[in-house]
Amino acid sequence: IAKWVLSFQVHPEANVNLDNGQFYGFCGSRTTKFPSNLVKDPCHNGSHLASTYSALATLKIVGYDVLNLDSKVLLLSMKKLQQPDGSFMPTHIGAETDLRFVYCAAAICSMLKDWSGMDKEKAKEYILNCQSYDGGFGMVPGSESHGGGTFCAVAALYLMGFIQVDLASNSRESAPIDVQLLLEWCLQRQAADGGFQGRRNKPSDTCYAFWIGGVLKMIGAYHLIDHGALQEFLLTCQTCYGGFSKFPDDELPDIYHSYYGLAALSLLGEEEVEPLCAELGIIAAAL
């Protein structure tokens, strides 16, 4: 598996000018991986921040030492994706900028144990600008609070060392965000059926049991949810095929919701599921 994942990393040609604006990370699939002789054309370099995060996470899970990678080039080129407002583009050829890619950048730096790939202070300011009036975080400043965006914001701040909060012990050593308002917003996302919704007035969805649950775990407030009700909800989302679907009693499972269904069960302390590192979204044993 490690060999296959490593084959997706894009490397610059010898003596190439690393100020050429290209990102030398990982591609997501063979359809975006071009021969090295074509990578000199920016359009043929399919490196993407989300693919790079996924690649590093996978490598760590299978036991590969990611510190053996050529991380200097990866991080140097990644830093050029950071925008003046602190956000990140996912690719060098242009795309949307939002909290997803700030999180990916922070997770990449954390896994590589090298923060030279981003300006943490600028990233922090961008994240703070995304906290909404109700305590959650929108994907971009001024947008509606969203479970996924809230996870990306809190996890990025946590990884960068800007949040050191444990509400279980009333410790709030460092919290640049409104933690109390965040807590209220997160707790309000657990619905009557026991599951979590990603936004107000939306149905419960398997994946948000992790996105919201992970936030509560990081700030030491996971004990405040109804664990039994959440477990029941998650089990109604497991299909006869073994995987998890998006909604209860949906007959068609998918890999995405199966992963986050298991991740949520891990947060709940399910005995047969490996303990999870919530902020990186991978098993704790991989750290």
pLDDT value of residue 11: 86
Q: Give yes or no for residue 74 having a pLDDT over 80.
A: yes
Q: Give yes or no for residue 242 having a pLDDT over 60.
A: yes
**Per-residue confidence band for 192, with pLDDT thresholds at 50, 70 and 90:** very high
pLDDT value of residue 172: 58
pLDDT value of residue 165: 76
pLDDT value of residue 20: 78
Q: Give yes or no for residue 219 having a pLDDT over 80.
A: yes
Judged by average pLDDT, the poorest of 50-64, 91-105, 148-162, 167-181 is 167-181
68 torsion bin: left (phi>0), alpha (psi -120 to 50), beta (else): alpha
Residue 39 identity: V
Q: Which residue has the higher pLDDT, 17 or 272?
A: 272
Please tell me the distance from the alpha carbon of residue 258 to that of residue 250, in angstroms, as a whole number: 12
pLDDT value of residue 70: 87
- Average per-residue pLDDT for the chain: 92
Judged by average pLDDT, the poorest of 33-42, 72-81, 110-119 is 33-42
Q: Give yes or no for residue 41 having a pLDDT over 60.
A: no
Q: How far apart are the first and last CA of the chain?
A: 18
DSSP sequence for 149-164:
HHHHHHHHHHHHT--E
Percent of the chain with pLDDT over 90: 78
Please tell me the distance from the alpha carbon of residue 143 to that of residue 146, in angstroms, as a whole number: 9
In 166-270, alpha helices (H): 179-187, 208-218, 227-236, 255-267
**Per-residue confidence band for 146, with pLDDT thresholds at 50, 70 and 90:** very high
Q: Give yes or no for residue 35 having a pLDDT over 70.
A: no
**Per-residue confidence band for 73, with pLDDT thresholds at 50, 70 and 90:** very high
**Predicted TM-score of the model (pTM):** 0.93
Question: Where do the domains of the chain lie, and which CATH numbers do they carry?
Answer: 1-129 (1.50.10.20), 131-287 (1.50.10.20)
pLDDT value of residue 36: 58
- Mean per-residue pLDDT, 183-190: 97
- Mean per-residue pLDDT, 254-281: 96
